[in-house]
Amino acid sequence: MKGIIRIPRLMQEIPASPVISLLNLLLRQSVPIQTVCGGRAQCGRCLIRILEGAENLNPRGEEEKLRLAALEAGEDMRLACQSYARGDVSIEIMNR
């Protein structure tokens, strides 16, 4: 099932894909999001807050859990490079 990624602050919506990370989807649409490591859960620059639709994302993997813990990120935070949407999701880009 495909969905929509909504970015309320930027008033943007882009199509979601269960096989392409949110980071890559955002970059393809020229949405301003930072990354240094290129999507390997190393830098934490692509930190996002999930406003709605967390249930439509894949579970956190071990690398993502470690990076989020190092960033002291809350439960509503994810790394865009490690997140895949299987439905509608609303996010805020943190750009740390």
For 42-55, the pLDDT digits (tens) are: 999 999 999 999 99
Residue 94 has pLDDT above 80, yes or no: yes
Here the CATH number for the domain that contains residue 88 is 3.10.20.30
Most confident region among 1-10, 29-38, 43-52 by mean pLDDT: 43-52
Q: Please report the DSSP string for the chain in residue order.
A: ---EEEEGGGTEEEE--TTS-HHHHHHHTT-----SSSSSSSS-TTEEEEEE-GGGBPPPPHHHHHHHHHTT--TTEEEGGG--BSS-EEEEE---
The percentage of residues in the chain with a pLDDT greater than 90, rounded to a whole number, is: 92
For the chain, the average pLDDT equals 94
Range of the domain at 59: 4-93
* Predicted pLDDT at 8: 96
- Structural contact between residues 79 and 68, judged by C-beta atoms closer than 8 angstroms: yes
Chain-centroid distance of CA 90 in Å reads 10
Residue 1 has pLDDT above 70, yes or no: no
The percentage of residues in the chain with a pLDDT greater than 70, rounded to a whole number, is: 98
Q: How many domains does the chain have?
A: 1
- Structural contact between residues 96 and 10, judged by C-beta atoms closer than 8 angstroms: no
The predicted model gives 63-76 an average pLDDT of 96
